[in-house]
Structure 1
Amino acid sequence: MVLRRICVFAPLIVLLLSGPALLSGCGTSGTNFVVKDDPWRSPEERACLASGVVRQSAFVRARSALGGPSVCGAETPFEMLAADSGRVTLEPSASLRCPMIPQIDSWVKNVVEPAARYYFRQELAGLKILASYSCRPMNSVDGARISEHAYANALDVGGFKLANGDTISVLRDWNGSEREQAFLRRVHQGSCEYFTTVLSPNYNRLHADHFHLDLARHGRDGLMRICK
């Protein structure tokens, strides 16, 4: 396993190899994070692109670049504006790598929309997005491991909008009415079937206002899932 410490300063980017540098800070004026060599990322993304499962449309657009140091981003990033053929908007749109897009689409169609109809008798109209791509360490903690957000491999969802204009907020409604709690817990449970990491307000206070969803590989075989 190769670890590197990445220090991002404006406008300077410094890469320090593993060793003593991992024990020392990169300076107080920059953001730094530890990067593990993940050889699965590039082949996985290229396989997704080659499969044709993600196609450009009015709701999914290819982007040329995402910005940040070279360790961040994706080979061919996309901007996702809506799921389920445009019926469910992402507000705001999300910058994502290829494998995330079909998973979000399937999750919306098979988990969130049925839950909205069951608990509220309403169609789902939108997702409130708190974060997608961001070149930063986990939880924005200086010196921590690099976040899946830095690879456009994660999405933070803060709420759900119904067709009648009502909203269900993770922050407000996780401990809200019985119906709102049931909806959010159904969505949380169903999310674990589509993403390898799902973090809810049960995880810690940093996730009190959103569900974190990503496709990181966990464990020696990469098949372990984290659902909290």
Structure 2
Amino acid sequence: MVSRFRLSVFVPAAVLMLSGLGLLWGCATGPNFVVKDDPWRSPEERACLASGAVRETAFVRPRSALGGPSVCGAESPFEMSAADNGRVELRPPASLRCPMIPQIDSWVRDVVEPAARRHFRQELVGLTVLASYSCRAMNSVDGATISEHAYANAIDIGGFVLADGRSISVQRGWGGSEGEQAFLRSVHNGACQYFMTVLGPNYNSLHADHFHLDLAHHGLTGLKNICK
């Protein structure tokens, strides 16, 4: 199940009046995107940090900053180099905000590792990370809405590495062998229990080579799940 970290916060009337309105942000040398007021982001991140759900280990280390303009980034970002207590390497390490880390751990432990054993009789040893933090618009389209990647609230997974050295690529395996197709659909569908947005090859051609996973809020309650 998708876990949420929530705090009750006072939101000034001026912010409420602006919520839902998009502001075009950018500069001559930086990214150009529409930024919407999302008052849930800071309280959710702080609640995660206060909960102790994420602790510093050899595989999860705090970062001082992520770089990029001030609207991008996270308050207390982390670099995650492995999931499930170091058993599954993230290649390369991912820069993420606090709430993403326990969700990745749970998805890997409860969905991806069992699927690898079931379909390939192999242990999972790695995830191929195509993207994590990046200060940009959605799909890198100039002038579009800011991406969840810009808040370190998303990760793109392009493949899965098995103990025997095989790599199950999303791009090749989605239409590949029977075992590859079954495995990839299993881990894609299972991700929908842990993330608020899950997009894959069936969504559009821009996602033909990866699964996009994020914890964005959708709908009036923020709890709508998008799984495509």
Q: TM-score with structure 1 length normalisation?
A: 0.90
Matched, 1:9 2:28: yes
Matched residue SS, 1:161: strand
Q: Identical aligned pairs, as a percentage?
A: 75
Q: Which residue matches 1:50? A: 50
- Paired with 2:56 and 2:221, the residues of 1 have a C-alpha distance of 32
Cα pair 1:90 1:129 within 8 Å, conserved: yes
Q: Which residue matches 2:84? A: 84
Matched residue SS, 2:220: coil
- Paired with 1:221 and 1:48, the residues of 2 have a C-alpha distance of 19
TM-align CA RMSD: 0.7
Task: List aligned pairs for 1:15-164, cutoff 5 A.
Answer: 30-164=30-164
* CA shift for structure 1 position 199: 0.1
Q: Which residue matches 1:165? A: 165
The one-letter code matched in structure 2 to 1:6 is: W
Q: Deviations over 1:33-74 (max 9, x none)?
A: 000000000000000000011000100000000011111000
Matched residue SS, 1:202: coil
- Paired with 1:31 and 1:135, the residues of 2 have a C-alpha distance of 7
* CA shift for structure 1 position 155: 0.2
- Number of aligned positions between the proteins: 209
Q: Which runs of 5+ in 2 are unaligned?
A: 1-18
Cα pair 1:81 1:90 within 8 Å, conserved: yes
* CA shift for structure 1 position 9: 3.3
- Paired with 1:8 and 1:133, the residues of 2 have a C-alpha distance of 20
Cα pair 1:8 1:69 within 8 Å, conserved: no
- Paired with 1:133 and 1:176, the residues of 2 have a C-alpha distance of 30
Q: Deviations over 1:106-131 (max 9, x none)?
A: 00000000000000000000000000
Runs of 4+ more than 4 Å apart:
none
Matched residue SS, 1:31: coil
Q: TM-score with structure 2 length normalisation?
A: 0.90
Q: Deviations over 1:89-113 (max 9, x none)?
A: 0000000000000000000000000
Cα pair 2:31 2:135 within 8 Å, conserved: no
* CA shift for structure 1 position 174: 0.4
The one-letter code matched in structure 2 to 1:65 is: A
* CA shift for structure 1 position 3: 2.0
The one-letter code matched in structure 2 to 1:105 is: D
- Paired with 2:68 and 2:88, the residues of 1 have a C-alpha distance of 29
